[in-house]
């Protein structure tokens, strides 16, 4: 019986040394400063709170973040990969004189394109074998490839719509991206 306290203390030490140390990390971003993508949340001009760059010829700038996070397997917790999609309101801006409904649809479609790629990444990440060799490396490789695709798509969208001035092209892109989002409905953020 004299060994029981030492055995119990050793077991507790083992449990706490294997427990996750950062189960929940608080974000550095103030939740009031972002707009997370959801099915029901649509951008408004109030979401453009930054100051326009004086030298910019653009009517607006929408700053969208697509951060990914890999949490390695820990004691009693499986490995996970997550992707978020949100607008940084403090960095996004609009020139008030050019705040027209078409420009808002243009920016919403841009936001939707980012959400589409967040869903594509979530799908890709769901197919990773987290028990295999170097899952974080596999995830980083996929993330890099998909964000390169995203960059090319956004450049194409901006060029074809002439940065939101061609209403027919903005509407075409909006409809196309909405349909693609529906196809990947199961990978929307929870």
What are the pLDDT digits (tens) for 89-104? 999 999 999 999 999 9
- The DSSP 8-state label assigned to residue 83 in this structure reads E
**Lowest model confidence (mean pLDDT) among 16-30, 82-96, 153-167:** 16-30
Which pLDDT value is given to residue 2?
54
Q: State mean pLDDT over 24-53.
A: 85
Q: Give me the half-sphere count of Cα atoms (radius 13 Å) on the Cβ side of residue 158.
A: 14
Which pLDDT value is given to residue 71?
80
Q: Summarize pLDDT for 60-100 with one digit per residue, the tens.
A: 999 999 999 888 777 767 777 889 999 999 999 999 999 99
* Whether pLDDT at 4 is above 80: no
Q: What angle do CA 88, 172, 43 make, to 5 degrees?
A: 25
Q: State mean pLDDT over 107-131.
A: 93
- The DSSP 8-state label assigned to residue 93 in this structure reads E
* Whether pLDDT at 59 is above 50: yes
Beta bridge partners of 140: none
Compare 13 and 159 and report the one with higher pLDDT. 159
* Whether pLDDT at 17 is above 60: no
Q: Distances from the Cα of 188 to the Cαs of 50, 98, 120, 173, 185, in angstroms?
A: 28, 32, 9, 19, 6
**Lowest model confidence (mean pLDDT) among 89-93, 133-137, 178-182:** 133-137
* CA atoms of 146 and 118, how far apart (whole Å): 9
Report the chain's mean pLDDT, rounded to a whole number: 85
Which pLDDT value is given to residue 28?
65
Which pLDDT value is given to residue 61?
96
CB 115 within 8 A of CB 85: yes
């Amino acid at each position: 019986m004299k060994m029981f306290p030492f055995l119990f203390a050793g077991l507790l030490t083992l449990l706490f040394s294997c427990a996750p140390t950062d189960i929940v990390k608080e974000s550095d971003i103030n939740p009031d400063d972002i707009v997370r993508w959801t099915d029901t949340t649509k951008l408004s001009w109030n979401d453009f709170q930054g100051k326009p760059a004086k030298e910019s010829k653009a009517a607006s700038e929408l700053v969208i973040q697509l951060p990914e996070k890999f949490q390695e397997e820990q004691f009693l917790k499986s490995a996970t990969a997550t992707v978020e999609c949100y607008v940084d309101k403090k960095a996004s801006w609009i020139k008030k004189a050019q705040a027209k409904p078409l420009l808002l649809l243009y920016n919403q479609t841009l936001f939707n394109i980012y959400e589409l790629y967040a869903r594509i990444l979530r799908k890709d990440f769901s197919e990773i074998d987290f028990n295999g060799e170097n899952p974080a490396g596999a995830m980083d490789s996929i993330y890099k490839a998909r964000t390169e695709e995203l960059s090319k798509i956004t450049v194409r969208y901006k060029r074809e719509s002439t940065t939101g001035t061609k209403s027919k092209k903005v509407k075409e892109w909006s409809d196309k991206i909405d349909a693609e989002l529906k196809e990947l409905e199961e990978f929307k953020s929870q």
